[in-house]
Structure 1
Amino acid sequence: MRKQHTEPFLYMQIAARIEKQITDEVLRAGDKLPSVRMLCRELGHNMSTVTQAYYELESRSLIETRPRSGYYVCLPPKKRMDVPNTSKPASIQKPRHQDDLITRVHKDSTDPGITLLSLGVPDVSLLPIAKLNKALIHATRSLPGSGTAYDQVQGNEKLRREIAKWSFSWGASFNEDDLITTSGCMNAVSYCLQALTKPGDTIAIESPAYFGILQLTKSLGLNVLELPTNPITGIEIDTLKKALSSNNISACILVSNFNNPCGSSMPDEHKKEVVKLLQHFNVPLIEDDIYGDLYFGNNRPSTCKTYDESGLVLYCNSISKTLAPGYRVGWVAPGIFKEQVIRLKLNHSISSTTITSEVVADFLKNGRYENHLRKMRQTLYNNSMKYISAIASHFPEGTRVSQPLGGYFLWIELDGKINTLELYERAIKHKISIAPGKMFTLQDQFDNCLRLSFGLQWTDEIEKKIKILGTLIKAMI
């Protein structure tokens, strides 16, 4: 009888003990909690009691459950920071270029002693190197001429078929004939821009935007209209509508899921509205979905292409951020612009790389890609929590940080007095590379912002580097 009276309170006692460990930072954001079954064995309680304790902690937003993985510690309330403000690019464009800065930041990767918090590439430890090597050997044995022959212009048929199957998870209805393989995602975007525009045309884009796309548009002689972007929901729909109605826009480029650099992800309703708007004004959309598979939630997010019925959305993707950056395997579903894109590919590269396309096709077909992604997503989520926690601990009060639901990046907004180009100069002396906000715009904005990548595995050394960054920032105020 006594046990029945005390049992309802046991889960609260367990929850209180775990909460204290979280408060004392014995358990930190991103740490995995013991499974319910394991905690039952350790504490000698039944499963319903332990489960109720976890539910109680979950209701207080102290922990959360991750699909197929278990319970993890959330960012504690005292470390939760405001997100950056919605961007406000000028309506009158006065382009400035940061080519020298971009080149310099990229060059940092050649120095093995530098901690690369600047570049959005997966740490090599996150990649299935041994399995890829094994698949390469298999591909050389199975392909005609051991993979030395040209592939067909449209690309490896098996790869296109597997991509079409894979796309079912986010609502696409591709077949292999809808797809063209490319040398990575930027190559796909480049073909699309060349198919849709000519020098002097204007394209609309999010702000901030990936510097590679900004450099590409400049090299093609295009004008760029940067539009206000919310760090949570992405491009502001009302300003996009106004731009489409009042400007001669030839095309739009959007990173709809886990935008680089601010991590925003457009809600489904926004994606539907954007597609509807572009169809109304007959303006094509180049959709870069390179981070879409790196989601932290339960399900893979949809895309603008999911809602495209007119063929005006040119969907671009690759495995450069998920499996093998150096393989240069990408693809595009160009909709009604298929013939123009195929012609450009024929003129520029003839065919894609035969062997690496075959390897990626096998990874998709045999389920190895999904198994790899499941682990990678969990690691990146844990990394994001630990990076944000460290920033909250070591950066000045008032720092704003994005809260991405996937991808690689944190967009950080500092006090307006801080110039992150100067911060870069100071940080590189400590062998730390960051990406100043100036890199992600052609306008005079984001001087007090920076992008950090959490693609590097979390270690005590990474926390030490973030602490150094915080000290440098405080010294600049």
Structure 2
Amino acid sequence: MKDFQYIALADQFEISINNGTYPVGSKLPSLRSIREQLKVSVGTILKAFMVLEDKGLIVGKERSGFMVLRTSVSSIHLPQYVENKTFAQEVAIGKVLQEASFPDLENKSYVSFFNAVLSPDLLPFNALRRSLQQASRDLTGQHLQYESAAGNIHLRTEIAKRSFLWQGKLAADDVIITNGALEAVSLCLRAVTKMGDTVIVQSPIYHGILQTIESLGLKIIELSGSPLAGINIEELEEICKSQKISACLLISNFNNPNGIMLSNEKKQAIAAFAERMKIPVIDDDIYGDLHFQAQRPTNIKSYDKEGWVMLCSSFSKSAAPGYRIGWCAAGRFTDQVVKLKAVTNVATASIVQLSLLQLLKTGAYDRHLRKLRPELHRLMLLTIQAVENYFPSDIRMSRPGGGLVLWIELPEYINAFELQQKAIDQFVNIAPGPLFSNNGDYIHYIRISCNNVWNTKVEEALKRLGRIIKSMRVDRGR
């Protein structure tokens, strides 16, 4: 049977995107020009573009037409995972961090791919300014007073309302406002562990979490897994049966650094595991709002029935890093977390809570996300394309469905710390892979953040980084 005309047209454009006729980041021809050239209706063209949008290949922008986001083919394999060490270890990430370089980036020549934080140009500056002005106009002086330890009740209500996006059923009393997601994680750990206890974490994992665990005097078991599917539930359960585990710290969506998103089935299985084993699971879903799909993904908390899942999140990655507004829904451990919050720093700053409340109530946050997500997707795909073009052909690279970072496995002869130093010498910074493991694993891996507004300077920085990697091959006679 002959294909519908719009399907044939979509296939034609997909071929043109994959062969480079329309590169990533470029605009497709206007509807009028396509109509005149191919003698098809605007309705047919729009249906074809909808097919391409559903595949994630293009995105429509108001008054700007349609832009290419990515190709549908790639020859680069996913990174491999490091074999687990299924015994408890003291955490000593501080020693690993000492090997990394943290240069002063005031020099305008630098391009940093180190921090997973939005560029100021991607933040909702005007909306934040208006919301802060509105919050400070409160003649009752509420913005000058302490909030409750749990946080502003109206902000907690707005956050609870948003739980329907991930199939959750939170109420305001389930939510605790914190100073960023890292404090939320720390409070949850403190509520369910004591010094010397062992927690399971997925590997690789954000070095800030490892530092938090180290500061609490906890031991860890690092559990890695499939580069597509994440941890193995059977292995998780076997470890918990053979050793005393006080908590598990996992990431539902777009793990930093390797971008893994757990399937709904795996999230549900982990929630059931927590209930069956009576082991708290801390779910750090800080990147969930930065998805590239049509709908926000669920998290482990979505399937929690008995309160054994402690969800942590934040607005730092999506809206206002400097506000340091995070939150947690600690389930059956809510009272303990609120008490710990009170004795730690009394409460989170009132004025920023009220400003964020305005951002949520007015819909400004959702409008910002609708613009931000396609742009982040575009930036990531442009970065992927540049890495494919400029790095050696034998690398491996993640394919995140959201978030801000790419995880790249380089040839085994590359030392990530040495590479970072060479890159800094040429005004480029990256995050060495060993920072994301207590064991100092991932020595030939790096993390690149896709948080810079794309321009020639950013692309040239990736080109320089590729040249450095290739030169290291030559230096070693490869």
Shift of 1:225: 0.4
* Alignment-mate amino acid for residue 85 of structure 1: Q
Partner Cα distance (1:39, 1:402) in 2: 35
Please give the per-residue CA displacement for 1:115-151, whole angstroms capped at 9, x wherever unaligned. Answer: 1101100010011112211211111112632621111
Contact 1:424/1:434, CA 8 A, preserved across alignment? yes
Instruction: Confirm whether residue 170 of structure 1 aligns to residue 155 of structure 2.
Output: no
- Equivalent residue, structure 2, for 1:29: 24
The answer on whether the counterparts of 1:232 and 1:263 sit within 8 Å (CA) in structure 2 is no
Contact 2:89 2:219 in 1 (8 A): no
Alignment of 1:27-176 (within 5 A): 27-34=22-29, 36=31, 39-40=34-35, 45-51=40-46, 54=49, 63-64=57-58, 72-73=67-68, 75-76=70-71, 79-92=74-87, 97-99=92-94, 102=97, 105-109=101-105, 111-142=107-138, 144-145=140-141, 147-176=143-172
The residue that corresponds to 2:204 in the other structure is 208
Deviation at 1:90, TM superposition (A): 2.3
**Deviates most, 99-108 or 181-190:** 99-108
Indicate the residue corresponding to 1:256 in structure 2.
252
Q: Percent identity?
A: 36
Shift of 1:94: 5.8
Please list every run of at least 4 consecutive aligned residues from structure 1 whose deviation after the TM superposition is greater than 6 angstroms: 7-11, 55-59, 66-70
Match of residue 226 from structure 1: 222
* Match of residue 363 from structure 1: 359
User: What are the equivalent positions in structure 2 for 1:13-28 lying under 5 Å apart?
Assistant: 16=12, 19-20=15-16, 22-23=18-19, 25-28=20-23
What is the rounded CA distance, in whole Å, between the counterparts of 2:7 and 2:398 in structure 1? Answer: 34
Is the CA contact (8 Å cut-off) linking 1:206 and 1:235 kept in structure 2?
A: yes
- AA aligned opposite 2:302: T
Q: Cα deviations across residues 18-55 of structure 1 (Å, max 9, x unaligned)? A: 744652x3522244535646743676531355357658
Match for residue 390 of structure 2 among 387, 391, 394: 394
Report the CA distance shift for 1:180/1:67 in structure 2 as closer, same or farther (over 3 A): farther
Residues 79 and 389, structure 1, Cα contact 8 Å, conserved in 2: no
Aligned counterpart, 2:418: 422
Would you say the 8 A contact 1:36–1:50 is kept in 2? yes
- Using the TM superposition, give the Cα deviation of residue 100 of structure 1 relative to its aligned residue in structure 2, in angstroms: 6.0
Tell me which residue corresponds to 1:352.
348
The offset of 1:96, in angstroms, is 7.0
TM-score normalised by structure 1 residue count: 0.91
What's the secondary structure of 1:320's corresponding residue? coil
Matched, 1:285 2:263: no
CA contact (8 A) 2:91 2:218 kept: no
Task: Determine the structure 2 residue equivalent to 1:439.
Answer: 435
Query: How far does the alpha carbon of each residue in 1:315-374 deviate from its partner, in whole angstroms, 9 at most, with x for none?
Result: 111100011001011111111111111111110111111011011111111111000011
| CA gap 1:138/1:54 in 2 versus in 1, 3 angstroms | closer
- 135-144 vs 35-44, which deviates more? 35-44
Contact 1:257 1:289 in 2 (8 A): yes
Separation in structure 2 between the aligned mates of residue 94 and residue 222 of structure 1, nearest angstrom:
9
* Residues 287-320 of structure 1: per-residue CA shift (max 9 Å, x gap): 1111000000010000111110111111111100
Q: Unaligned 5+ residue runs, structure 2? A: 474-478
